[in-house]
Structure formats: structure tokens, C-alpha cells
Amino acid sequence: MNIGVVGLSYKTAKYEIRENAFFTARRKRDMANSLMELGAKGVVILSTCNRSEIYFSFDENITRIDDVVSLYCKKLDIQDEKYVYSRSSKDAARHLFMVASGLDSLVIGEDQILCQVREALDFSLEAGYGEKAMNRLFMEAIACARHVKRELKISEHPISTAYVGVKFIKNETGGINGKNAMVIGLGNIGKLCIDYLVEEGAKEVFAVGRRGKDYAVGRYGNVHMTDYEHRYERLKDCEVLICATSAPHAIITKEAVLKTEKELFILDMAVPRDVEAQVGEIENVRLRLIDDIEKILEHNEQRRERLSIRAFEIVNERLSEFTRWLELSKFDPIISALNQKCEEVKNEALSSIRSKMDLSPKQYEMLERTVKSSLKKILKEPISNLKSKEEGFDAKGYALVLEDIFLKRAAD
């Protein structure tokens, strides 16, 4: 049994391509079913705004990684395979460990990706695409991520402008949960701000910008596109405003904001300003600029660089344990066959004894336990040796010897 991953991410493909590669629940099932037809044993699909990946376990003699890449591109209508990466065996496991731990994220150490990895596994199990190696891989990756987060607490020191901005608003306002927010400007920062606002529990988010229509519609039930001309009308219902446009002049004026009756927190992340400086003079309005969060970003980035060294060490430690398990799992069929052979020998022996002796139920039960225990003792040492961790030990050769002695010869 082997494992593989095929996918694309923010590192290999622009947003427009990643958007087309987004997996809905229906797409996940279609892809998983097609992979099963190719010979995959188990499938887990991880789809976020920054990555679209399929993980699968397979028999090396049946499934070829190149075939999976071709299927991936065909299903998602990706015209050029240069955007797609593929890895197998230890490299595939390492990739997932890095992803789950937030070390492969746009925001190093982000918390959200771990939840998404867990949800991807849950979907696979519920849909019937789970399998021993896949399940173990994802559970070990999740455990590794928790280890990294518990020991290093990297996620407490984010470096994404959008992430820090939303967290800054949360801390300054006492929380975003249940509040209405508006985001003006739907470039990368604005779109990420929407993601984080939704994650923080914003009640309604009004998205203003020409490039945001396809992003907002259908992605979140509480995100609504708002025409630029109607921004002030909607702003009256909001407690939070984030501006991140590339406009050469202010698009939020003091005169218009004066009509807002609610307490309003504004974070202007644009350069030059989107919001007139005089807006900050309004009594029920708090105005903050991108300079207010840049010092936080700089400090966090330096600290993360130091912490990430230890994070990689943790990944390598946990990865070694998993790859050892994966290597030994290749011998599961022969171990299962040995146990089955013991069961057959036990049943034959008991059947022969029972035909020659009149045993009470209690005597038969005691005899069965004795025979079963004796047979297990015979196999205990060979199986233990098969799982030996000694350097240079030829486990594959040893497995062939066991098969020859206990199975083939016994069959003869």
C-alpha cells in the first residue's frame, strides 16, 4: 500500500485557477468515485481558498500518479499541468503534515487549516471513502499539527495583513461575533478579510467591489454583494468597515459617515487612504490605519521565523513514526494470513479432539484457550521480528521466509 497527493495551491496557481478548482461536495464525490475506478483504496479531498488537493492510498501495481494528475486536470478543467504538483510515499505524508500544521499556508501557522483537514477526513469517512492507511495518515497529521500548536503557539502570532487586521478589530471592539461588517475593495486582502470575518462569526458581511461577485455569491450564505453606489446606505447597518481599495482618492467621506448612528469601527488598509482623516473626529467612529497593525506584523514575522525551525523538527519526528508504520503495514496481509492459518490449525485440532473425546462445555472452553494461546506463542516471535526496527534488517526477505515456512509448506 502506498499514498499520494495531487493538487495545486496558492504557491503554484493564481486565484482565478484555484477558484475553478474548488471542490463542492458533489465534485468531491465525483472525483473520489473516479479515483476508486482507477484503483485507489481510499480518498480524502482537501479544498480551501488557497489549495485544492486529493490524497489517496493505492496499490503501486495498479494506480499511477500520472493517471491521477490527468484525471485531476480533466475533472477540474485545468488546461496546463504545470500548475499541478504530485507527491507519493514519504513526500506525500510530509506535505500533509506541513499543511495541517500551517507550515505550508499563506499565513504560517494559521488555525483554520487544521479544522479544514479534520473536516476533509470526516467527509471522506461519512461518504465511504475511508481506508486504513488514509485514516492513519490524516490522524497522524492532525496529531502533529496539535503538537506544533501546543508547543510553539505559532498561530498566536499571525503575519497576514488581512488576518492581523481582523484580529486587531476583534480585540479593539470586544469581538466580531453577531456584528454586521462591510468590506470595500475585493482584491486578495479584501477577500481574505471576508473569510476571516465569517470565521469570527460576523452576522452579515456586505462586499463592495467589481472583482468580488463570483467570490462572494454562493460561497457564504451571509456574504452579500453591494453596489458601490449603495455603500453608505448599507453602512448604516454595520458596526465594522474595512477598506482595502487601490483608489487614488478617498471613497469614504466625513459628511456621509456623519449620518451613521451606530458605533462604527473603521480599519483603512489602503495606501493612499480610502477614508478621509476627518472621519476619525466623529464621536461614534473609531478610525485606524494600516500603520497601526504593521508593527504587529513585523514583530510576529520575526518570532515565527525562529519558531518554525522547531516546528520542522517536530514534523520530521512525527513523520518518521508514520513512515515506519506505513512500511510495516505492507506486511499486514502476511500477518493476517498467519493468524488465519493459526485459526484453521486450532479448529482442526479441536475438531479432531472433540470427535475422540467426550468433553464438557467447560473442558472444551479451557482446551480451546490453551490451544489458541500455544499457537499465538509460536507466532509471537516471528511477527515481532518482522516489525524489527534494527538498522539493516531485511524485513521483506524475512517476510518471504515466514510465508514459505508457515504458509506455502503448510499448504503442501
Question: Hey, which residues are catalytic here?
Answer: 49
- 56, three cell numbers: 489517496
CA distance 388 to 395: 8
Using alpha carbons, select from 323, 292, 176, 291 the residue that is nearest to residue 241: 176
CA distance 185 to 243: 6
Using alpha carbons, select from 380, 410, 398, 376 the residue that is nearest to residue 331: 398
Contact 3, 93 (CB under 8 A): yes
Using alpha carbons, select from 34, 127, 120 the residue that is nearest to residue 76: 34
DSSP 8-state class, residue 275 = B
Using alpha carbons, select from 120, 117, 124, 121 the residue that is nearest to residue 101: 117
Does the N-terminal peptide bond of residue 382 adopt cis geometry, omega within 30 degrees of 0?
A: no
- 91, three cell numbers: 513526500
Helix (H, G, I), strand (E, B) or coil at 400: helix
